[in-house]
Amino acid sequence: MIDSSSQRPAQVTLAIETAIGQGSLALFRGSSPVALSPPGVEVARAETLLPQIDELLSRAALRLKAIDVIAVSRGPGSYTGIRIGLATAMGLCAASGAEMFGISALEAMLRSCEPNGRTTVAALNSGRSDVVWQIASGDQIHNPEIGSFDAFIESIESIAKPIIIVEKDSPLRSEISNGKQEGEINVLPLENSLAYYIGLAARSPDRASVAEPLYLLNKKRVGGLF
């Protein structure tokens, strides 16, 4: 695939997400995905991540050296998963010469839709009966938060008709809608994996090369690091 604006081969991006659930991978040429890790395949473990990346490259008939950019989730999510993803991305960049971008999974979710003037909220299950979320209103992106489901609902109650972005199979999809009148909120499930949106976010001109992990701590819960 050729970038028509420059007549150069389109940039190859590998996106890695190992902080949420089983994790996911995505491989792009330009803005087009050429290979995605299958749903349900475990990629978030140290022993499975590199073999799954090799499989992804093989399906796309690409070598490691062909990768121009590696976009990796820096959190929030599993403490171990975040570290596995970042360490693997750093190692692959050293081996391939690719540029690395650390992307917040929540910010990648926020970039996935056109708000049309409405406030958007990205929300993920934390795995400990908690929720992590981030609110964007206009050009302002608030700091990410973590708390109970009730705390999450309380934080968005004053927002008029927000767009709530969740993973497609997340239980939050029905929990948020429960008891709400039609039109009060718009729950928008993601159509693709988190890695897919992390890869797209890495193409944004205002992306930052941030490798610092994003850990969130629920101070009201013992062992509430996420």
What's the whole-number mean pLDDT along residues 121-132?
89
**224 or 93, which is more confident:** 93
Residues 23-66: tens digit of each pLDDT: 999 999 999 999 999 999 999 999 999 999 999 999 999 999 99
pTM for the model: 0.91
pLDDT tier, 139 (very low <50, low <70, confident <90, very high otherwise): confident
Residues 107-124: tens digit of each pLDDT: 999 999 999 899 999 999
Q: Does domain 2-106+193-201 have CATH number 3.20.20.110?
A: no
Does the fold of domain 109-189 match that of domain 2-106+193-201?
yes
Of the ranges 10-19, 120-129, 171-180, which is most confident?
10-19
- 12 has a pLDDT exceeding 60: yes
The pLDDT of residue 36 = 98
The tokens of 42 are what? Answer: 């475990």
pLDDT tier, 129 (very low <50, low <70, confident <90, very high otherwise): confident
Residues 160-217: tens digit of each pLDDT: 999 999 999 999 998 888 756 556 889 999 999 999 999 999 988 777 677 899 999 8
pLDDT tier, 3 (very low <50, low <70, confident <90, very high otherwise): low
Q: Does domain 109-189 have CATH number 3.30.420.40?
A: yes
Intra-chain end-to-end CA distance of the chain, in Å: 39
The pLDDT of residue 184 = 80
Q: What proportion of the chain, given as a percentage, has pLDDT over 90?
A: 77
pLDDT tier, 226 (very low <50, low <70, confident <90, very high otherwise): low
Work out whether strand 120-125 and strand 163-166 pair parallel, antiparallel, or are unpaired.
parallel
The pLDDT of residue 62 = 97
**7 or 192, which is more confident:** 192
Domain boundaries, the chain: 2-106+193-201, 109-189
Beta-carbon count within 10 A of 40 CB = 7
What's the whole-number mean pLDDT along residues 78-96?
97
